[in-house]
Homo-oligomer: A and B are copies of this chain.
């Protein structure tokens, strides 16, 4: 696992075009307050386990779990021609997997959950970030912040992809009419599309 062996990567930073994925469970913190801690961790780990498997199957690089949030990128450390397509197909597979996760939750008396997923494509600085004691392959740049703002606008069960991701797709997908987001700290408006499925 290249992420766990940063000494195997070159030092310094590279500019990389990546498709960034951020997801989280809508209202998870509020929901977690009604449950015992063990139940929260069980439910969270079921969800994260399923999502991890799907992201890895689509050759995504998981950068972080932060509570119920997942940050992954497609296109680093290895770039491929279909980075944006794999990210979109990954998001569709993640949303599709929620039915099974919720069936397991319901069978155990746990609540149903919904995830929101944001995808955005842009050039970021990728490098081994941290200290001598602790470093990891990570990413810096405005596209990371933009993705976070898009994620703030995702409803439960919704996947929003930015115009920049849409422009990189080779496959054909159904999307809804664009919405324009204005977000704190981002100068320009961001055009996003709700992802509805892949066309046969």
Chain A residues within CB distance 8 Å of chain B: 11-15, 28-30, 32-33, 37-38, 40-42, 44-45, 48-49, 51-53, 56, 62-68, 71, 125, 127-136, 138-142, 144-145
Contacts and interface: CB of A to CB of B under 8 A. Distances in A.
Which among A29, A51, A62 has the highest number of chain B CB atoms within 10 Å? Answer: A29
A125 to B, nearest CB: 5
Give chain A's interface secondary structure class: mixed
B130 A29 contact: no
Contact of A131 (B32, B48, B127, B142): B48
B29 A67 contact: no
A136 B40 CA distance: 15
A51 to B, nearest CB: 8
Contacts of A142: 29-30, 33
A95 to B, nearest CB: 18
